[in-house]
Structure 1
Amino acid sequence: MDATSASAGAAAAVKADAPMTDGKPRTAVLRMEGIVKRFGAFQALSDVSLELFAGEVHCLLGENGAGKSTLCNVMFGVHQPDAGSMWLDGAPYEPHSPRDALTHGIAMVHQHFSLVEDVSVLDNLLLGQVRGWLDRKREAQRVRALVAELGLALDPDARVAELSVGEKQRVEIVKCLIREPRLLVLDEPTAVLLPAEIDALLDTCARVVARGCAVVLVTHKLAEIRRIANRATVLQSGRVVARSSTPSADVDALVRAMIQRPGNAEQEAVSTTTATATPRSTTRSASPYARPLADEALQIDGLTVRDADGVTRLEDCTLVVNRGEIVGIAGVEGNGQSELGAVLAGMQKASAGRFFVQGADCTQAAPQTLTKAGVGVVPEDRHAVGCVPDMSLTENLFLNRLDDYARHGFMQRRAMRRDARALMQRFDVRAASPDVAFRGLSGGNQQKAVLARELTLDGLAVLIAAQPTRGLDVGAVAAVYDHIRAARDEGVGVLLISSELDELMAVADRVLVMYRGRIMGTCVPDASQLNLQRERIGAWMAGQTA
């Protein structure tokens, strides 16, 4: 792997690393050279050079805010570079919009779906692509032939609203591939998929490149890099800092390049294996319920939630979280996990059932009362309920204890800033100052700030952490779980709700699986049976009981 600190060296590394055909360098499908992009005073990309080749998967890596999405949007014509040049099949390429990019054979699957829910798959696939008379029968046959070639299961006549998340992802991909692009850009496409659906998507990528297409895959998942990447490029602060033509062998070095700061030798010691670590091989009690009642940090007894239409979203949920234990809740999003987290945070009322914190019934408690009872909450939507974006970082760090800094009707701002700086250092929250607006922080730093606030709650007994690493890079994920483990080791009971199965298996002491509001099964992660347990959990996540 070539690690580079200067952009000129980075550009040279691309050329030197170009694949050869019959002893001659291959022509790149897309070549980007010296790309610069600014947003006001902020420089998102600085002299970035990249080459993408037909028949290869090129993984784009980097921390949140490193410039990955900006670079993809430059490829796709969403943003125009302030400097630099691009060539498509050797000819100058200057897209002014996504329509230009699509016309030139570049398609992009965004992280969030852009489908029309109330119409069929076929209608979604043909939107904006067919002019004049539409022969639906012929177009349906064309779609079926394409999905058969790619090995996908997709019914053109199905209504999109009735599809699973994985099926919707397939529609997005086929919508791009039906245009027969030369370059397909995938922005974190596996974030909300079942394990089996992830495998199917990666198989599809392999078939796409076998047809001669170039694929850019933005991902934070190390298993995906090992499995499918032909090449990888790491961005840091808008610059290329490392490349690899053998990513599966260079994963550890690529991760170090992502999180290492120039001149900071301490970063060499940072653990980079959180996302793929094997479970701890500690000895556990055969039954977690056999422990004394005094050990229970959180007890949930028959919690049920019905929505406004009377549909049951959470059904008879019963579980115990002991002190000094991390209990993971796995499952595809939309299977009752959000409702469980909302009830435990005091944001939603239960239709039936109760829950207890350290033996005290908190079922009807308001959020402020739960805070006083020792419940810390990291919500899945940090922007909507986890922070006040227009307030400062300092104010957000102390939202749950502003009274501690009130004296005679005035806020002790100097003391708040001093304590905020200490928390920023302890939890590695990176910002120009404690006074910056919270909305100006990157997603990873916002999440670390919310975690810092909740983990330093006075008398913390229970932490409810819902999707705490969503959208975070490998370095931020490692930091989040280091802090959660530390809380567990200090006796806090942790309920960890996540759609990232590999992370749950590496971090949790027990993993429970939810499907359509019910707990389908539970297991204690065991490194010696990891593959078998993943298969069993994947089956539970899909609703299979055996």
Structure 2
Amino acid sequence: MGAAADITIDTARAAEGRPLLALEGVSKRFGKLQALSEISLDFKAGEVHCLLGENGAGKSTLCNLIFGSHAPDTGLMRFQGREWSPSGPAEALQSGIAMVHQHFSVVPRMSVVENLMLGQARGRLRHREQAALIRAMTAKFGLDVNPDAIVGELSVGERQRVEIVKCLMREPRLLVLDEPTAVLPPEEIGALLDIVRRVADDGRAVILVTHKLAEIAKVADRVSVLRGGKLVTSLPMQGTQMGDLVRAMVGREVTSLESALASSLAGIARAEKQGDGPHKYALVCDGITVRDAGGAVRLDNFTLEIAPGEVVGLAGVEGNGQTELGRVLAGLSPPTSGRFFIGEAEMTHASAAQITAQGAGIVPEDRHAVACVTGMSLAENIFLNKLGQFTRFGLLNRTALTEAAKGLMQDYDVRAAGPEIAFGSLSGGNQQKAVLGRELTLDPLVFLLAAQPTRGLDIGAVEAVYRQIRLAASRGVGVLLISSELDELIAASDRILVLYRGKVVGEKPARPDQREAIGALMSGHA
């Protein structure tokens, strides 16, 4: 099929309400895992169609079939009335289907205009002409992207907008967004949903994969729920109750995330905060300050003590020093000044391996960059810091490794076809649970840093993650929980500190009646 001229919006078809894309009995299996089973579903132009489901329910697999990254084993797909069996993503793009994946595909060192023209510009890049086209596109959809900015210097939300502009430059009929808000701070989610609405109102079909019910309520025209690779329900959003969607997604009654967490954590005993174990403190931060390459202060005199068995939440809009603190505590970058201790041992200039050996479990905010090796197996990633236990004379005992991995998968509800599959093939939620399981089974475990541990997770997985964190605390592990999800911090923490522009601006008890006060501190209002 040809270029953009062949991909004009068929308003007559949209007006008649005919499906732009239809799936009939589509199934897909990966080894022992039945990822999708007999899915029949359609998507219409001018409509935002939300896909909802637990991690591993098959949502990303469905999107990848549509985009040509995988081919269905059985069933039929039709796009614009014709049979659709793309040979790969290149054919999908040429035919009018574009996809924004969970993880960014932009090149950090290049400018926005250079990234957007990769694979599209022929011959010499006409920078000024292309920048003008990008400005026109961003103005049309309210995307607010500077064509001359270096991508690596943009915020997470700005980079997400670049990904969307990159797709829209191709004038697609169908735009697939796989968890586009999972990496966004709360204040940027609303802006992105407004863009999604504008794209659909322009006559295009939008498939939006998300776990967040508030987003669905705001933007969806239709919602389809997957569970265990099967289509549970598909219905118009208007008149649909959120409780019905949650019940369809998890297969049980859940009134809200807050009540689910409260119920799940209620039976876990709280450890005595002082003198409960060999250490007086699990973590001590003494005046940690971080300056960036330009000399700007990113973290200012951060001081904190966490007792064994205590969960301290760190709240704040992203970009206020949390990332810098996490990198320091993980041993990925040294502080400009100040020091920190794990137990009684100073670890200020220690390596990541030394920090792990001292008993610090690290769940970083960017699991793909620093927490796993996606090309290695699930079993190898689960025991990434313990592979020596399964090695003899330089050879890895894969049988023992696989058996041990099966036990941890069961304990932490990591759902996959088996321990031997590639880590990169797991859903985001199952990757996160595997990383959490690896870090929580360190021996000894004195301190746990959990940075954005539930980003991109469904309500059931969120509940499971915080239950494991609180169980660790009940055993005397001190926890620093960094999250932009205030309701989760209140439910899972003992007390909450607030970071604003790199400084601690207040501390509050983790209680629902403190939500407004904590929110005010996050906004810079003392």
Class of the TM-score when normalised by the shorter of the 2 chains: 0.7 to 0.9
Superposition deviation, residue 292 in structure 1? 11
Partner of 1:201: 192
Cα distance in 1 for residues equivalent to 2:303 and 2:61: 44
Distance in 1 between residues matched to 2:412 and 2:300, nearest whole Å: 37
Asked if 1:493 is matched to 2:484, the reply is no
Look up the SS of the partner of 1:189 in the other structure: coil
Q: What's the counterpart of residue 27 of structure 1? A: 18
Alignment of 1:450-469 (within 5 A): 450-456=435-441, 460-469=445-454
Q: SS of 1:64's equivalent?
A: coil
Question: What residue identity is the alignment partner of 2:412?
Answer: F
Counterpart of 1:75 in structure 2 is 66
- What residue number does 1:16 align with? none
Note the C-alpha offset of 1:35: 1.8
- Given the alignment, which residue of 205, 212, 215 partners 1:224? 215
Determine if the alignment matches structure 1 residue 448 to structure 2 residue 433: yes
Question: Which residue pairs with 1:87 in the alignment?
Answer: 78
- In the alignment, which residue of structure 1 is the partner of 2:144? 153
Whole-Å separation in 2 of the counterparts to 1:100 and 1:436:
28
The amino acid of 2:322's aligned partner reads: Q
> How far off is 1:443 after superposition?
5.0
SS at match of 2:19: coil
- Is the CA contact 1:279–1:526 (under 8 Å) kept in the aligned structure 2? no
| Structure 1 residues 237 and 376, CA gap change in structure 2 (3 angstroms) | same
Quote the Cα distance in structure 1 between the aligned partners of 2:118 and 2:156: 20
Moved more, 389-398 or 62-71: 389-398
1:267-320 C-alpha deviation (Å, 9 max, x unpaired): x3678625997999x9xxxxxxxx999975422101235679988664432123
Q: Give the CA deviation at 1:134.
A: 8.3
Contact kept? 1:44, 1:70, Cα under 8 Å: yes
In the alignment, which residue of structure 1 is the partner of 2:6?
none
Shift of 1:196: 1.9
Is residue 304 of structure 1 aligned with residue 289 of structure 2?
yes
**Cα distance change on mapping 1:429 and 1:150 into 2, 3 Å:** closer
Gap change, CA 1:535 and 1:128, over 3 Å in 2: farther
2:49 matches 1:58: yes
The answer on whether the counterparts of 1:397 and 1:449 sit within 8 Å (CA) in structure 2 is no
C-alpha contact 1:325 1:488 (8 A) present in aligned 2:
yes
How far apart are 1:163 and its partner, in Å?
Answer: 3.1
Conserved in 1, the CA contact under 8 Å of 2:137 and 2:169?
yes
Aligned residue-pair number:
502
Shift in alpha-carbon separation, 1:526–1:119, aligned structure 2, 3 A: same
**Partners of 1:272 and 1:478 within 8 A in 2:** no
Report if aligned partners of 2:247, 2:253 keep a CA contact under 8 Å in 1: no
- 1:238 pairs with one of 196, 216, 229: 229
SS at match of 2:289: strand
Q: What letter is aligned with 2:452? A: Q
Given that 1:271 and 1:478 are in contact with CA atoms closer than 8 Å, whether structure 2 keeps it comes out as no
**Aligned match of 2:181 in 190, 197, 200?**
190
Structure 2: 5+ residue runs without aligned partners?
Answer: 1-11, 267-273
How many angstroms apart in 2 are the aligned matches of 1:480 and 1:519?
26
- Are residues 1:213 and 2:204 paired? yes
Counterpart of 2:257 (choices 263, 266, 273) is: 273
Distance 1:320 1:223, change over 3 A: farther
Please tell me whether residue 479 in structure 1 is matched to residue 502 in structure 2. Answer: no
Mapped partners of 2:125, 2:461: distance in 1: 49
Secondary structure in 1 matching 2:171 = coil
* Match of residue 269 from structure 2: none
CA contact (8 A) 2:494 2:510 kept: yes
Distance across 2 between alignment mates of 1:151 and 1:460: 48
| Conserved? CA contact 1:140–1:156, under 8 Å | yes
Identify if the C-alpha distance between structure 1 residues 250 and 485 changes in structure 2 by more than 3 Å, giving closer, same or farther.
Answer: farther
1:376 & 1:115 partners in 2: Cα distance? 30
Aligned twin of 2:161: 170
CA distance in 1, matches of 2:107, 2:407: 48
Distance 1:486 1:220, change over 3 A: same
TM-score, normalization: structure 1? 0.73
Match of 1:44, SS state, is strand
**Greater alpha carbon shift after TM alignment, 50-59 vs 168-177:** 168-177
* Alpha-carbon distance between aligned partners in 2 of 1:433 and 1:131, rounded to the nearest angstrom: 44
> In the superposition, relative to structure 1, how do residues 465 and 400 fare at CA in structure 2: closer, same or farther (>3 Å)?
farther
Give the stretch that moved more between structures: 292-301 or 49-58.
292-301
Residue identity matched to 2:100: V
Is 2:100 the partner of 1:115?
no
Aligned equivalents of 2:418, 2:168: Cα separation in 1: 46
**Percent same amino acid among aligned pairs?**
54
CA contact (8 A) 2:56 2:415 kept: no
The residue matched to 2:103 in structure 1 has which SS? coil
- Aligned CA distance change for structure 1 residues 507 and 244 (closer, same or farther; 3 Å): farther
Aligned residues of 1:223 and 1:276 also touching (Cα < 8 A): no
Q: 1:321 to 1:148 in 2, by over 3 A?
A: same
Shift of the 145–238 alpha-carbon distance from structure 1 to 2, 3 Å rule, reads same
Kept after mapping to 1: 8 A contact 2:77/2:84: yes
CA shift at 1:413, angstroms? 11
| Cα displacement string for residues 472-518 of structure 1 (whole angstroms, at most 9, x for unaligned residues) | 33322210111212333555431012354553354334444556755
Structure 1 residues 292 and 160 mapped into 2: Cα distance closer, same or farther (>3 Å)? same
Question: Does the CA-based 8 Å contact 1:59-1:217 persist in structure 2?
Answer: yes
Q: Secondary structure at the match of 2:454?
A: coil
Taking the aligned partners of 2:192 and 2:497, their CA distance within structure 1 comes to: 25
Question: How far apart are the structure 1 equivalents of 2:371 and 2:107?
Answer: 30
Is contact 1:276–1:503 with CA below 8 Å preserved after alignment? no
CA distance in 1, matches of 2:154, 2:307: 38
Distance in 2 separating the partners of 1:367 and 1:296: 20
Give the stretch that moved more between structures: 110-119 or 59-68.
110-119
Partner residue in 2 for 1:18:
none
Query: Residue 29 of structure 1: SS of its match in structure 2?
Result: strand
Contact 2:33 2:417 in 1 (8 A): no
CA distance in 2 between partners of 1:146 and 1:366 (Å): 46
- Could you tell me how far 1:325 is from its partner in structure 2? 3.3
1:353 aligns with one of 309, 323, 338: 338
Q: Amino acid of the residue matched to residue 212 of structure 1?
A: G
Q: CA deviation at 1:113?
A: 2.8
- Give the counterpart letter for 1:192 in structure 2: V
Equivalent residue number for residue 37 of structure 2: 46
1:344 aligns with 2:329: yes
Q: Which residue in 1 is equivalent to 2:303?
A: 318
Question: Letter of the aligned partner of 1:187 in structure 2?
Answer: D
